[in-house]
């Protein structure tokens, strides 16, 4: 990776310094050898200046990079009178201990008479630049700190709003419970959440079972080990076929004895753990995550290996639907369907189903984590509402608080499906919430229309690992026994929500790195949080189309200006991370 790295001084009387600092937050392993450098140019007669710019791939690869941030400060250099053209006097390595040591030994006052041809004066110049670098860096950090504080104040305000909202809703809930109305009936009467009863019932068991499983076997996401890690459960291939067998056998149950037959023929009591696990498997398999992305390619690249096992013409769409199954591990139950949108054939609709039973490569982590988190958000949401603690309105506003039209949950589909629409801009004002759909924030589509191969940004491995660690940490701690099932389900919901959000914000590596600690702290705090902590942080970002324009971030938001939901523990952790 060849990047300009050196200290050069032109011969004009006024010299400008260009300090190039590799973007630390966005650095990749191959960039580690990139060092800050100073380029001193004499392109101004009266105003020597140091210009600090962050050098990254964008600024170097782009033909018209955004102008670097230029911070000017006086530099008095007595140039030699010879008009030598540009002369490179050496490279300043800011990571070299020698550079700082030399600079510290030089009297600062010497810089006024510095002669760039004199080694001592050059050292003085280096000192001057070093101080400037530190000043600039300090200034930048102050600015960043200020920005984070503003964000925190906004989050705090949102928290207060939500807390009031929660109290109101809890009061309403108590009043309705006093009338003896069951939650399911409430939903029907309210007409706000028309989720199939089958899904609601399974979702309760699924979330509970998922909580049990995850307590024993924490994992980065539900995508790894869901099938194979369950003790006594069949392997994934068997489970996959068992699902089909169960589906076929379910219609025969009515003719049978009425007992529940396990796949291996043993009688299994109702509500046993294995039955719950089966229901979990069935539900997780039924829950689907659909990703819409613009792509000319026949299939989006999600990091997994797939084998096509069928193709059908689907009704209402002239484009055939292809069926794939994951082949990264024998018996992985994950399948996906790929079909072009009938209305806009540039849009590729990929529907994922099931959870991987094997470790995933980093490249596959983002998509798998996102889809599985979205699916489990769906299931956890159903559990919470079915449990009666939250009515549908609350579910809508807390679990799925944003209506940025980037992700939708279709409850009317044959299977509960979360649709992540990566084809639209996330501007909430442009996309009013459709009736009967709940929406969750997800990242904007690839900024470049041709970046078809990666509709979702790759989640940095370190970020995923942090989530894993936090998940493990929170699961290792004994849970208060208030309502074990519910609480763990909510914890999963929180983790899923945050997990999805983190995958979303991974679109911006700078922000990802900056907020990784905060997000993971939110997860880690969930075990001590109260019921209201079900919500988690929803982070949405948008990018101005103009190259180099800053990415804007906000918590929550949406057409109805629903505030973000960050609760006390989360705010504390944000505080601690910022301070």
Q: Residue 323, interface with DNA (CB under 7 A)? A: yes
Residue number with CB closer to DNA (248 or 448): 248
Q: Which helix (H) or strand (E) holds 215?
A: helix 197-216
Q: Residue 301, interface with DNA (CB under 7 A)? A: no
Q: Residue 307, interface with DNA (CB under 7 A)? A: yes
Q: What is the maximum alpha-carbon separation in the chain?
A: 104
Name the minimum Å distance from CB 250 to DNA. 5
Q: Residue 410, interface with DNA (CB under 7 A)? A: no
Residue number with CB closer to DNA (295 or 535): 295
Binding-site size, DNA (CB under 7 A):
26
Q: Which residues of 540-569 are buried (b: 16+ CB within 10 A; e: fewer)?
A: bbbbeeeeeeeeebbbbbbbeebbbbbbeb
Q: Of 107, 316, 318, 435, which one interacts with DNA (CB under 7 A)?
A: 316
Name the minimum Å distance from CB 416 to DNA. 12
> What DSSP letter does each residue of 233-271 carry, written as one string?
PPPHHHHHHHHHHHHHHHHHHTTS-S--B-TTS-B--TT
Q: Residue 261, interface with DNA (CB under 7 A)? A: no
How far separated are the first and last CA of the chain, in Å rounded? 35
Q: What is the CA radius of gyration of the chain?
A: 28
Using an 8 Å Cβ cutoff, are 538 and 130 in contact? no
Name the minimum Å distance from CB 129 to DNA. 55
Name the minimum Å distance from CB 239 to DNA. 12
Q: Residue 337, interface with DNA (CB under 7 A)? A: yes
Residue number with CB closer to DNA (239 or 523): 239
Using an 8 Å Cβ cutoff, are 15 and 125 in contact? no
Name the minimum Å distance from CB 245 to DNA. 8
Q: Of 86, 312, 345, 572, which one interacts with DNA (CB under 7 A)?
A: 312
> What DSSP letter does each residue of 344-363 carry, written as one string?
-TTEEEEEEES--SS---HH
| Strands ordered across the beta sheet of 49-55 | 70-71, 49-55, 16-22, 37-41, 7-9, 87-90
Q: Of 161, 215, 305, 451, which one interacts with DNA (CB under 7 A)?
A: 305
From 181-189, 240-248, 263-271, 427-435, give the range in contact with DNA by CB under 7 A.
240-248
Q: Residue 247, interface with DNA (CB under 7 A)? A: yes
Distance CA 353, CA 335 (A): 5
Q: Residue 179, interface with DNA (CB under 7 A)? A: no
Distance CA 299, CA 324 (A): 10
Measured in whole angstroms, the distance separating CA 180 from the mean position of its chain's CA atoms is 41
Name the minimum Å distance from CB 292 to DNA. 16
Residue number with CB closer to DNA (60 or 305): 305
Name the minimum Å distance from CB 283 to DNA. 14
Backbone φ/ψ region at 561: left (φ over 0), alpha (ψ -120 to 50), beta: left
Q: Of 27, 311, 469, 559, which one interacts with DNA (CB under 7 A)?
A: 311
Q: Residue 361, interface with DNA (CB under 7 A)? A: no
Q: Residue 286, interface with DNA (CB under 7 A)? A: no
Name the minimum Å distance from CB 85 to DNA. 55
From 48-56, 126-134, 305-313, 552-560, give the range in contact with DNA by CB under 7 A.
305-313
In terms of Cβ atoms closer than 10 Å to its own Cβ (0-12, 13-18, 19+), residue 455 is buried
Q: Residue 292, interface with DNA (CB under 7 A)? A: no
From 25-33, 226-234, 306-314, 519-527, give the range in contact with DNA by CB under 7 A.
306-314
DSSP structure class, residue 427: -
Helices (H) and strands (E) in the chain, counts: 13, 16
Both tokens of 66, joined, read 């955004």
Binding site for DNA (CB under 7 A): 241, 244, 247-248, 250-251, 305-316, 321-323, 327, 335, 337, 414-415
């Amino acid at each position: 990776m060849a990047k300009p790295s050196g200290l050069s001084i032109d011969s004009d009387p006024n010299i400008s310094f260009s300090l190039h600092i590799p973007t630390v937050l966005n650095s990749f392993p191959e960039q580690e050898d990139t060092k800050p450098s100073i380029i001193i140019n004499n392109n101004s007669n009266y105003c020597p200046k140091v210009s600090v710019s962050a050098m990254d791939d964008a600024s170097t690869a782009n033909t018209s990079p955004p102008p670097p941030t230029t911070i000017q400060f006086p530099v008095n250099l007595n140039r030699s009178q010879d008009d030598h053209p540009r002369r490179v006097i050496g490279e300043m390595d800011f990571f070299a201990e020698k550079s700082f040591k030399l600079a510290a030994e030089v009297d600062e006052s010497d810089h006024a008479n510095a002669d760039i041809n004199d080694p001592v004066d050059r050292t003085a110049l280096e000192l001057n630049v070093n101080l400037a670098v530190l000043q600039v860096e300090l200034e930048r950090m102050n600015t960043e700190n200020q920005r984070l504080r503003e964000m925190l104040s906004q989050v705090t305000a949102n928290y207060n709003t939500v807390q009031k909202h929660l109290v109101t809703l809890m009061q309403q809930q108590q009043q309705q419970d006093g009338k003896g109305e069951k939650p399911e009936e409430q939903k029907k009467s309210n007409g706000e959440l028309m989720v199939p009863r089958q899904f609601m019932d399974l979702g309760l068991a699924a979330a509970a079972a998922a909580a049990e499983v995850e307590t024993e076997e924490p994992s980065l996401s539900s995508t790894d080990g869901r099938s194979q890690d369950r003790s006594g459960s069949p392997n994934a291939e068997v489970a996959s076929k068992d699902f089909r067998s169960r589906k076929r056998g379910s219609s025969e149950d009515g003719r049978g004895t009425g007992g529940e037959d396990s796949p291996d023929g043993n009688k299994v009591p109702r509500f046993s753990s294995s039955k719950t696990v089966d229901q979990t498997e069935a539900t997780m398999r039924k829950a689907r995550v659909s990703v819409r992305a613009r792509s000319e390619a026949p299939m989006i690249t999600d990091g997994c290996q797939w084998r096509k096992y069928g193709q059908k013409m689907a009704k209402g769409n002239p484009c055939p639907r292809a069926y794939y199954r994951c082949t990264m591990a024998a018996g992985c139950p994950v399948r996906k369907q790929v079909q072009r949108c009938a209305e806009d054939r540039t849009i590729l609709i990929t529907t994922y189903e099931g959870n991987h039973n094997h470790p995933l490569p980093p490249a596959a982590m983002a998509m798998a984590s996102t889809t599985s988190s979205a699916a489990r958000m769906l299931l956890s949401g159903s559990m919470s509402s079915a449990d009666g603690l939250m009515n549908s309105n609350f579910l809508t506003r807390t679990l799925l608080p944003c209506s940025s039209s980037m992700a939708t949950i279709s409850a009317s589909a044959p299977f509960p499906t979360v649709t992540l629409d990566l084809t639209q801009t996330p501007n909430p004002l442009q996309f009013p919430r459709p009736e009967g759909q709940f929406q969750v924030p997800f990242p904007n589509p690839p900024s470049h229309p041709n970046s078809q191969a990666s509709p979702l940004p790759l989640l940095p491995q370190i970020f995923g690992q942090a989530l894993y660690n936090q998940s493990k940490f929170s699961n290792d701690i004994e849970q208060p026994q208030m309502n074990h099932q519910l609480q763990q389900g909510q914890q999963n919901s929180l983790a899923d929500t945050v997990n999805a959000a983190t995958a979303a914000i991974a679109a911006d590596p700078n922000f990802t790195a900056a907020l990784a600690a905060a997000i993971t702290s939110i997860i880690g705090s969930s075990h001590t949080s109260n019921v209201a902590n079900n919500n988690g942080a929803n982070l949405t970002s948008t990018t101005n189309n103009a190259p180099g324009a800053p990415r804007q971030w906000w918590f929550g938001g949406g057409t109805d200006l629903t505030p973000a939901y960050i609760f006390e523990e989360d705010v504390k952790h944000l505080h601690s991370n910022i301070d």
